[in-house]
Chain A
Amino acid sequence: MDLLNALMVLMNFVVMPATAYGAQLALGALGVTLVYGILRFSNFAHGDSMAFGTMVTILFTWALQGIGVSLGPVPTALLALPLGIAGAALMLLGTDRAVYRFYRRQKANPIILVIVSMGVMFIYNGIVRLIVGPDDRRFDDGERFIFTVRDFEAWTGLEEGFGLRTSQAITILTAIVVVAALFWFLNRTRTGKSMRAFSDNEDLALLSGINPERVVAVTWIIVAALATVAGVLYGLDKSFKPFTYFQLLLPIFAAAIVGGLGSPLGAIAGGFVIAFSEVTITYAWKRVLEYALPEAVAPDGLVQLLSTDYKFAVSFMILVIVLLFRPTGLFRGKSV
């Protein structure tokens, strides 16, 4: 019986990866939830907005690397991130001007906007592939690890250890900073308050003199920032591939709905719920249990609830369960 080693195995294979993944999903889900709360439609183009913002960041990262700029142990991409956000914001504002505004003026049914966003998704899809191509792109540089598993084992003398990658640490730190800034903005600033008012009751907000076009523009800029940050963090942690970002749409929507659409706090909780359940349900608990249990009852089998083939099914299952039993999500968002 060795609880410390069991804990280390769990940290290395479950807690660290799931926390980083959860933070990336949470940032993505925040963007989806903001669009849903304020513009009142499910934005299917969100995954590809992430891909677009990340692509712009990658292009600027390459340019910076080309002229020899680097941040030392920290990835150069962080320096290019503001430029990526600006690029994504221009793209989303342009799309809103060219596409969404037309339907908004017509007071189109939300379901029409959902279909429209699907069209936008395909166009973004094509643009990203035209510019950087469909292949895997890796753009992380600097130190890969803060400490590796081997380092940790050497320090502590334990049989098992966990490593901390630079990208995981950056992901978690950035997510905390971004979420704190977002909540401060929504709760403390005049623009943030007007956005919440617009979300709660559009007519009342208009009566009190809030400029709807301004609220919409600010929303898109924030969404662009969230999408780009989420996309870049995901790309640094794993790798950038347009198709993977398109596929992220499912866990991101699952996270937003589980948390409660329209509720920022819910989006964050939802992101972690989805990430942790994807990893824990498909995890083989054999090694943890071997350490944690007395030898006599240690398992021979893998103790795996679901094969990893069904990883994506986990998001679906949680989505169905939540929609059946608590359609407004964990944090009482809008019902879908």
Chain B
Amino acid sequence: MRHLLLTAAAASLTAGAAFAESHTDSVKMGVLLSFTGPIESLTPAMAAGAEMAISEASGDENFMGGMAIEPVRGDATCVDAAAATAAAERMVTSDGVTAIMGADCSGVTTAVLANVAVPNGISMISPSATSPALTEAEDDGLFFRTAPSDARQGEVLAAILSEEGISSVAVTYTNNDYGKGFADAFQAAFEEAGGEVTIAAAHEDGKGDYSAEVGALASAGGDALVVLGYVDQGGAGVMQSALDTGAFDLFALGDGMIGDSLTERFGTDIDGTIGTAPGSENEGGDVFADMASEAGIDGTSVYAGESYDAAALTILAMAKAGSASASDFKGEVMGIANAPGEQILPGELSKALQIIADGGEVDYQGATGVEFVEPGEAAGSYAQFEVQDGALTVVGYR
């Protein structure tokens, strides 16, 4: 019996030692995404994108002396701030992560930032939170995002409409943070450019009938109807009703409305429609798509490239600072994302790590042509779409 106890004690000691050791020779990065909830169809590709960057750099001799990087997944749920906070808390306290790739939806990202990241000094780089409110959030310099703020998209869409000579529009938006923030940003930018917004009316998603909404929009009038909603939800319903009643012929759409089901449903009826969606003309996107398809994931899936970039930026910043502690590396992120320096595409992380080790500068481009503006968010590059002969066509980038 005594023998057995001794063995057990010895075993637990070695286990403890092994456990402690794993803490010292690996860096843990949280991958906090909404694996359940409204965007659950997008997150597998996002997580795979982030983990591609992690496995690419893990164990590289130039990364903090060959340290491994381990991803730790957590469920952000998209809608439940308490659950997301608990998941992030667990990552920090029991797994010991020092950086989080996430979260995804704007609401839970705000909650995790305020309740977990800032109190514990953990960095967060979100690939997809686009709410304009996050620009103003108290973050101690710990929060970054590789997706642009919707405020930026509002400006881009307003600029396109002004250039097309459209001077008055009616706006309808989906009744949530995304729609409201987007509509406010658009309205401010459009009015500044001398345009007139005749009405900005919300619509609820998941209703069958939008004739009352369209009645109000039509009565207010305008050269075009700006729809800032979702293509599989109320946005398309409003457009259908507007077409049926002949209220509007010309539409301008936000990114939530850009999708194949748009042209499948309306075809040539909406020729001339203008739209914007995040997108850029860079070689990184193609490189990433090829890398992803080799790894068996869909690299063109929304925000997969942004996720790769978010994880890669964290890793390069850690390497530059030579420390996995967020308070040390948070100051390096902006420098790595922007010029000057050697341009880094997806799949070139080991080259970047080599340059950093040699004391050089890198300008991380990644899958999405990363370019950060203060206070640490993507400047935002948008593709401008037009519906031509019943098909969505990219007519330019801005």
Binding site for B on A (CB under 8 A): 9, 12-14, 17-18, 21, 135-136, 138, 144-145, 148-150, 161-163, 165, 234, 238-239, 241, 243-244, 247-248, 278-279, 282-288, 302, 304, 307-309, 311
Contact = CB atoms under 8 A, between A and B. Distances in A.
Which of A144, A234, A283 has most B Cβ within 10 Å?
Answer: A283
A241 B206 contact: yes
Nearest to A151: B246
A286 B219 contact: yes
Given A12-B246, A13-B245, A165-B244, A239 B208 contact: yes
A27 to B, nearest CB: 15
A20 to B, nearest CB: 9
B220 interface: yes
22 contacts: A12-B245, A12-B246, A13-B214, A13-B219, A13-B245, A17-B209, A17-B211, A17-B245, A148-B246, A161-B246, A162-B245, A243-B206, A244-B206, A244-B207, A244-B208, A283-B212, A284-B219, A307-B201, A307-B202, A308-B216, A309-B175, A311-B212
Give the contact-size bracket for chain B. Answer: 20 to 34
A241 B208 CA distance: 8
A278 B212 CA distance: 8
B213 interface: yes
Interface of B: 175, 199, 201-204, 206-209, 211-216, 218-221, 232, 237, 244-247, 265
B234 to A, nearest CB: 10
Contacts of A238: 208-209, 237
A287 B247 CA distance: 12
Contacts of A239: 208, 237
Given A21-B209, A279-B211, A308-B212, A13 B218 contact: yes
Contacts of A148: 246
B212 A163 contact: no
B244 A279 contact: no
Majority DSSP secondary structure for residues of B touching A: mixed
A239 B214 CA distance: 16
A284 B246 contact: no
Nearest to A240: B208
Contacts of B246: 12, 148-150, 161, 163
B107 to A, nearest CB: 20
A57 to B, nearest CB: 16
A308 B203 contact: yes
Given A12-B246, A165-B244, A283 B215 contact: yes
A302 B207 CA distance: 24
Given A238-B208, A309-B204, A279 B215 contact: yes
Contacts of B204: 309
A159 to B, nearest CB: 12
B202 A309 contact: yes
A302 B202 CA distance: 15
A136 B219 contact: no
B29 to A, nearest CB: 35
Given A241-B206, A302-B199, A308-B203, A149 B212 contact: no
B162 to A, nearest CB: 24
Nearest to B233: A136
B220 A284 contact: yes
Nearest to B215: A13
Contact of A287 (B207, B213, B221): B221
Nearest to B211: A17
Nearest to A251: B209
Nearest to A144: B244
Nearest to B218: A13
Contacts of B216: 282-284, 302, 304, 307-308
Contact of B207 (A13, A161, A247, A282): A247
A303 B24 CA distance: 68
Nearest to A161: B246
A18 B209 CA distance: 10
Given A163-B245, A302-B219, A308 B213 contact: yes
Shortest Cβ-Cβ A-B pairs, 10 listed: A149-B246, A17-B211, A284-B219, A238-B208, A13-B215, A244-B208, A284-B216, A287-B219, A282-B212, A308-B213
A148 B216 CA distance: 20
Contacts of A13: 211, 214-215, 218-219, 245, 247
Contacts of B175: 309
A213 B336 CA distance: 79
B207 A279 contact: no
A17 B242 CA distance: 12
Contacts of B207: 244, 247
Contacts of B199: 284, 302
Nearest to A245: B208
Contacts of B221: 287
Contacts of A149: 245-246
A286 B220 contact: yes
Nearest to A149: B246
Nearest to B199: A302
A163 to B, nearest CB: 6
Which of A144, A239, A284 has most B Cβ within 10 Å?
Answer: A284
